[in-house]
Structure 1
Amino acid sequence: MKKQYMLLFSLVLLLLMNGYPAHAANNLRNLYDVKSGDYLGKIAKTYGTSVIDLKLINGLQSDKIMVGQKLRVPIMYTVAPGDTLWELSQVFNSTVQSIKTANKLATNNIFTGQRLRIPPKRLSMQGQYVLMTREEFKDWLFNHIFTRKIGKIQQHHTYSPSYQQFNGSNHFSLLKAMEEHHVKGMGWSNISQQLTTFPDGKVAVGRPFDTPPEGSFGLQNKAAMHRIEADALAIENLGNFDKGKNQMTAEQKETIVMITSLLSLKYGLTPSINSITYHHWWDINSGERVLDKGEGHAVKSCPGTDFFGGNSTTSAKNNFYPLVSKKMKEIRASMR
């Protein structure tokens, strides 16, 4: 019995030294927890990479990092029995091709005991903008740490640009055009919104999360605008979702529901008219919240008279919030 115990102990120790097989679902060894005194240059040197690569891998909009923040980093991995490049790419947030390139592999064949460098995949970035899939955004959101308290999520549609201006690959040029209009045309400091969703289901981070949106509500009353936006995150959904205009794609609809759910989980919000708010519910001159009593007030149709069935509080309660609540439950279950 003692001999068997020692054999088992030795096997466990060997696994700990060489790494668990990639198919171990809780293997998160390529996530680094930022500690006091860390900076990107130091972390990059430790893991044999560059600051630029760390920023692209993690979608960092600046060199600033926070204690407790999680950063994906390249790792060295010892191949275990049954491992494949595809499994390794899935577990370590990489791609088969990037692993092959990093290790100068001519084929997909790997062998037990082989040492591989596994670089996490880079996100698509241009300047401050980070373009992601829904799953990439989930990873990005929960790995980041933000300091600003968020109490409400604002839903908007761009109206213009609409679907007619989107060609499937011009995400960044549309974002830059919106930024230029907001800065040069409106006099704001940056693009107004933190997030933009697209017809293909992609989502882009723009204005940093810790900077309140600018000019989204109460345009003529700056004091009211700043008060409303202090604890808000703004989502611009690219398209004109008034009735008879753009028919929202299934991909964009899923993205809007998912990112709203992820944000609600991140910031501890329960879907309601107080936490997930439509632009239409606010007087754009005074900043007063009028909800469905917009007659006689300066209100926009935004996020659209056909946004998830309409832009009224009843439509939100019946058509949008239930989808968000359901998705929140699904995400919670998947993260256990």
Structure 2
Amino acid sequence: MKKRISVLLFSLCLVLTNVGFGSAANHPRNTYEVKPGDYLWKIAATYRTSVEDIKLINGLQSDLILIGQKLRVPIMYEVVPGDTLWKLSVAFNSTVQSIKTTNHLNSNMIYAGQILRIPPKQLTMEGQYVLMTREEFKDWLFNHLFTRKIGKIQQHHTYQPSYQQFNGSNHFTLLKGMEDYHVNSMKWSTISQQLTTFPDGLVAVGRSFNKPPEGSFGLLNKSVMEEIEADALAIENVGNFDAGNNQMTAEQRETVLTVTALLMMKFGLTPSVDSITYHHWWDINSGERVLDEGEGHAVKTCPGTGFFGGNSTADAKNHFYPMVKKKMQEISAALR
């Protein structure tokens, strides 16, 4: 039997909004598309939740929302025969425990005709940082809209911190350490990179996608640096991937490929030396793109001499780009 969202009016609770909670839903999978005149307080009031909850559910780093952006929201749902809490948690990106807690349920038993409030699960956030699984990042990326055109993805490795500094649970500590170095030592406005991947396969959003990276190339020429970074997103992969040092874990390897593929798809790019660039291909002082002709220039080995076969353009073309293309095909097939 087709699941249906109940259209219940909570007039006493929603006097300020003049909109019924259930009737405001415009998507059966509990996503709301932002319309002209919307702002977070208005949407939160409509769905009987808070601005903070909306931000945690959707991994919002600020109150900025754009027309056409998709937000996950709580919904009211009428149980139909065959439903279980587990099925509902999967269908509506929630958890069994949060459904039980929200609806004051003492057991997992539900019955046809019962009205449940289903809250989407919240993402793991600390300040501006949003820590996600690959699947959560895909949802986050495809639901968001951005104010800046993206034309290239920068691949870096952190070198320090390396695997030795990662203990499996200190993601935010490492991110804040990098931010502290970037702000206090490099004098940048915040952490330089938009994305950071970790050895356990998690990925974190740091710097806003709407702000260009800062300080990766052309350190001695600010105008050149700003020109290079204008359409770029930076990914820092935690670890030292120069040959003979950290061996990238299978989980992080999968995340690097998946995140890069998703970014290619989101921004309509095809893997090439112009769309996926390695730090090693640029003179860090002048900002000149030297590719494999780095002799006599100030170049780093970043993202590592062992990064997916190496750090040359031939290595990228023969190893990394084909893997990213394959991952894009896999994701596209799964979305059909």
If the length of structure 2 is used for normalisation, what is the TM-score?
0.92
Alignment correspondent of 1:330:
330
Task: Give the aligned partner of residue 130 of structure 1.
Answer: 130
Query: Residue type matched to 1:113 in 2?
Result: G
Whole-Å Cα distance in 1 between the matches of residues 80 and 324 of structure 2? 40
- What is the total number of aligned residue pairs between the two structures? 317
1:257-297 CA deviation, whole Å, 9 max, x = no partner? 00000000000000001000000000111111111111111
Task: Assess, with a 3 A threshold, how the Cα gap between structure 1 residues 28 and 220 changes in structure 2: closer, same or farther.
Answer: farther
Aligned-partner SS, 2:67: coil
Aligned-partner Cα distance in 2 for 1:304–1:223: 27
Paired position in structure 2 for 1:56: 56
- Contact 2:281 2:289 (8 Å CA) reproduced: yes
Paired letter, 1:256: V
- Going from structure 1 to structure 2, the CA distance change for 1:16 and 1:243 (only over 3 Å counts) comes to closer
**1:270-281 pair list within 5 angstroms:** 270-281=270-281
Q: Percent identity?
A: 74
Q: 1:29: how far off?
A: 3.4
Q: Distance in 2 between matches of 1:173 and 1:162?
A: 13
Going from structure 1 to structure 2, the CA distance change for 1:281 and 1:80 (only over 3 Å counts) comes to: same
Shift of 1:107: 1.5
Partner of 2:311: 311
CA distance change for structure 1 residues 225 and 45 in 2, over 3 Å: closer, same or farther? same
Distance in 1 (CA, whole Å) between partners of 2:218 and 2:163 is 27
Q: Give the alignment's TM-score, normalised by structure 1.
A: 0.92
5+ residue gaps, structure 1, are 1-10, 20-26
Check 1:50–1:311 CA distance in 2 against 1; reply closer, same or farther (3 A cut).
Answer: same
CA distance in 1, matches of 2:302, 2:28: 41
Where does residue 69 of structure 1 map in the other structure? 69
Residue of structure 2 in register with 1:22 after alignment:
none
Letter paired with 1:303: P
Aligned-partner residue type, residue 258 of structure 1? T
Amino acid at match of 2:262: L
1:243 matched to which residue of 2? 243
For 1:258, the equivalent position in structure 2 comes to 258
Name whichever structure is richer in helix by fraction. 1
Which stretches in structure 2 are left out of the alignment for 5+ residues?
8-26
Cα shift at 1:18 = 4.5
For residue 223 of structure 1, what is the amino acid of its counterpart? S
Whole-angstrom CA distance in 1 between matches of 2:158 and 2:142: 27
Hey, what's the Cα distance between the residues in 1 that align with 2:217 and 2:5? Answer: 56
Q: Secondary structure at the match of 1:260?
A: helix
Cα deviations across residues 227-285 of structure 1 (Å, max 9, x unaligned)? 11000000000000001110100000000000000000000000001000000000111
- CA shift at 1:17, angstroms? 6.6
The residue that corresponds to 1:45 in the other structure is 45
Task: Give the counterpart letter for 2:325 in structure 1.
Answer: S
Match of 1:6 in 2: none
Partner of 1:99: 99
Give the match for residue 167 of structure 2.
167
List 4+ stretches of structure 1 deviating above 3 A: 15-19
Q: Which residue of 2 aligns with 1:320?
A: 320
Displacement after TM superposition at 1:79 (Å): 0.8
2:296 corresponds to: 296
Structure 1 pair 17/123, CA: closer, same or farther in 2 (3 Å)? closer
SS of match in other structure, 1:319 = helix
Aligned partners of 1:295 and 1:331: how far apart in 2? 39
1:32 aligned counterpart, secondary structure: strand
Counterpart of 2:147? 147
Deviation of 1:16 (Å): 5.4
Q: What does 1:18-37 align with in structure 2 at a 5 Å threshold?
A: 18=6, 28-37=28-37
1:126-158 CA-to-partner distances (Å, cap 9, x unmatched) read 110000000000000010100201110000000
Deviation sequence 1:9-59 (CA, Å, 0-9, x none): xx98xx65759xxxxxxx743100001111111101100100010000000
Output the CA distance in 2 between the equivalents of 1:129 and 1:49: 22
Q: CA RMSD in A?
A: 1.4
- The 1:115/1:16 distance shift into structure 2, 3 A limit, reads closer
Secondary structure, counterpart of 2:179 in structure 1: helix
The letter of the residue matching 1:255 is T
* Structure-2 separation of matches of 1:210 and 1:77: 35
